[in-house]
């Protein structure tokens, strides 16, 4: 692989060196150093030392650096797309969509430093009282492998823009597209040394980062199980924490829906990026009168889709990220069929390429419903009416997103109000996001809408109240 990123990174770290493998072929793409706890502590210490100077940098210059990072990324977009396709198993369309979203995040963040950052407060004569936003200090960002560049950048970019230093730990599966690319674009943009540090590694590095005394906030995107551990650790240390976790999202099809349009949106929701997205449609809940038509058309669409190497052939779906995840998807499908579900499409794999799968006759207690699959599987449940559809949709600990397909916007809005999720799309699909919306979930999906341009000031700064008099005033004592 050629380009500005290179195929060796972070050498000389204490955790040794590991190969980075292309999930579609098993080919070694490069080598990467792995950070141990001492490496993480050194990175955090350096970031903490650099942060005051960065916070004192003129707001216009901070914004300019983020704009230059976006421009550099845009110039090298072909290189980055190749890394996203080959390292994370993205099809080219998904990779380019991710790249565009990263650019949106950078441009939105670049506008933050020059926004008003305080309030003039009422007070008594002779005293000036005001509140101003101040950076938190060092923000730890722990990002996942499935959308590696975007899901790190959406926390990292606004945190930097508002005067924080950042230590980023990308996932072990995607250290180049999730870490090295980010490091390179900000270095090219002129970000001062140590304001951003990248520490690739596994659980040891993650634990050390969360525990580091100088870290004021942890922004984590990943599994609910790990998120609970991070929330407990960070909360116990009274650190701010942002948790963007899993999802088991409902895709509800009402009896007045355009079935063909619903099938198109439902297929995208379940099969996009092999279903390896927290916003994926994990449960298709369809009213009985249109259920069989919906299943037949969804299965036919799944059969037409291709799964293969996205870098070397034209494919609608790429590989599952690794063998452990492939086995998990296959286990859930096999156990659901054994429990009585009807396999209508897929259910097989060739190497790491799992066929888009449709399961009918699914009941609420089957594994494909109770577990977050994180694979290209569409389980279909049948509901007698709207009330049962709502009950089925809310029968989960997750609360990220949902979609409702209907011929009536009013009916869709009324049903949306009854769904216990942070996001609902009426006549859309479950996968939707941009830099300008409040994004986040409830329950096991996270601790609220933590991302989005309007949320960034609340997320990555804290208030400080100041009062000033021209001279001291004697107290009553």
278 an active-site residue? yes
Residue 422 is encoded by which pair of tokens? 């942070």
Give per-residue pLDDT as tens, 255-280: 999 999 999 999 999 999 999 999 99
Collapsed DSSP state (helix, strand, coil) of residue 333: helix
CATH number of this structure's domain 249-426: 3.40.309.10
Query: What are the residue ranges in the chain where pLDDT is below 70?
Result: 1-2, 449-450
Q: What DSSP designation does 454 have?
A: G
How many residues are listed for the chain in this entry? 477
pLDDT of residue 476: 75
Domains 8-245+446-465 and 249-426 are alike in CATH topology: no
Residue 145 is encoded by which pair of tokens? 């492998």
Residue 324 is encoded by which pair of tokens? 């452990």
* 275/282 Cα distance (integer angstroms): 8
Q: Residues with Cβ < 8 Å from 380, sequence gap 6 or more?
A: 284, 286, 291, 294, 295, 298, 358, 359, 360, 362
Q: What is the Cβ-side half-sphere exposure of residue 337, based on CA atoms within 13 angstroms?
A: 17
Is CATH 3.40.605.10 what the domain over 8-245+446-465 is classified as, yes or no? yes
Quote the pTM value: 0.95
Q: If you search the block for the tokens 């949306």, which residue do you land on?
A: 416
Residue tagged active-site, from 105, 172, 183, 244: 244
Q: What DSSP designation does 180 have?
A: I
Residue tagged active-site, from 278, 372, 386, 459: 278
Contact between residue 377 and residue 333 where contact means Cβ atoms under 8 Å apart = yes
Give per-residue pLDDT as tens, 112-160: 999 999 999 999 898 999 999 999 999 999 999 999 999 999 999 999 9
Domain edges within the chain: 8-245+446-465, 249-426
Contact between residue 156 and residue 110 where contact means Cβ atoms under 8 Å apart = no
């Amino acid at each position: 692989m050629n380009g500005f990123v290179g195929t060796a990174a972070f050498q000389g770290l204490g955790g040794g060196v590991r190969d980075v493998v292309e999930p579609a072929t098993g080919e070694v793409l490069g080598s990467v150093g792995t950070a141990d706890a001492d490496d993480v502590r050194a990175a955090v210490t350096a970031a903490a030392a650099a942060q005051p100077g960065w916070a004192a940098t003129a707001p216009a210059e901070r914004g300019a650096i983020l704009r230059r990072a976006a421009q550099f990324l845009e110039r090298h977009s072909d290189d980055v797309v190749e890394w996203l396709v080959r390292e994370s198993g993205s099809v080219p369309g998904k990779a380019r969509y991710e790249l565009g979203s990263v650019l949106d995040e950078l441009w939105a963040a670049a506008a933050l430093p020059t926004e008003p950052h305080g309030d003039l407060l009422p007070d008594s004569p002779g005293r000036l009282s005001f509140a101003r936003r101040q950076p938190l200090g060092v923000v730890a960002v722990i990002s996942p492998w499935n959308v590696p560049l975007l899901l790190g950048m959406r926390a990292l970019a606004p945190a930097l823009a508002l005067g924080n230093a950042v230590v980023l730990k990308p996932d072990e599966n995607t250290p180049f597209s999730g870490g090295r690319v980010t490091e390179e674009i900000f270095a090219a943009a002129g970000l001062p040394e140590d304001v951003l540090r990248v520490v690739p590694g596994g659980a040891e590095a993650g634990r050390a980062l969360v525990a580091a005394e100088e870290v004021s906030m942890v922004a984590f995107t990943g599994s609910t199980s790990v998120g609970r551990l991070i929330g407990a650790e960070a909360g116990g240390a009274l650190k701010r924490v942002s948790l963007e976790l899993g999802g088991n999202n409902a895709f509800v099809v009402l009896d007045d829906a355009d079935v063909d349009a619903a099938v198109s949106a439902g297929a995208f929701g379940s099969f996009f990026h092999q279903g390896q997205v927290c916003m994926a449609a994990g449960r298709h809940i369809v009213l009985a009168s249109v259920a069989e038509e919906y299943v037949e058309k969804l299965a036919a669409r799944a059969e037409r889709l291709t799964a293969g190497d996205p870098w070397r052939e034209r494919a609608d779906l790429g590989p599952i990220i690794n063998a452990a995840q492939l086995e998990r998807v296959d286990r859930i499908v096999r156990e659901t069929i054994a429990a009585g579900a009807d396999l209508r499409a897929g259910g097989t794999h060739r190497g790491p390429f799992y066929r888009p799968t449709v399961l009918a006759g699914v009941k609420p207690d089957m594994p494909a419903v109770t577990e977050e699959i994180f694979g290209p599987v569409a389980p279909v449940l049948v509901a007698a009416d709207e009330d049962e559809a709502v009950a089925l949709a809310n029968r989960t600990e997750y609360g990220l997103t949902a979609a409702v397909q209907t011929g009536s916007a009013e009916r869709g809005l009324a049903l949306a109000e009854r769904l216990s999720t942070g996001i609902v799309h009426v006549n859309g699909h479950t996968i939707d996001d941009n830099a300008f919306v409040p994004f986040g979930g409830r329950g096991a999906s996270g601790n609220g809408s933590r991302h989005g341009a309007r949320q960034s000031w609340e997320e990555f700064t804290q208030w400080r109240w100041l009062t000033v008099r021209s001279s001291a005033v004697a107290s009553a004592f």
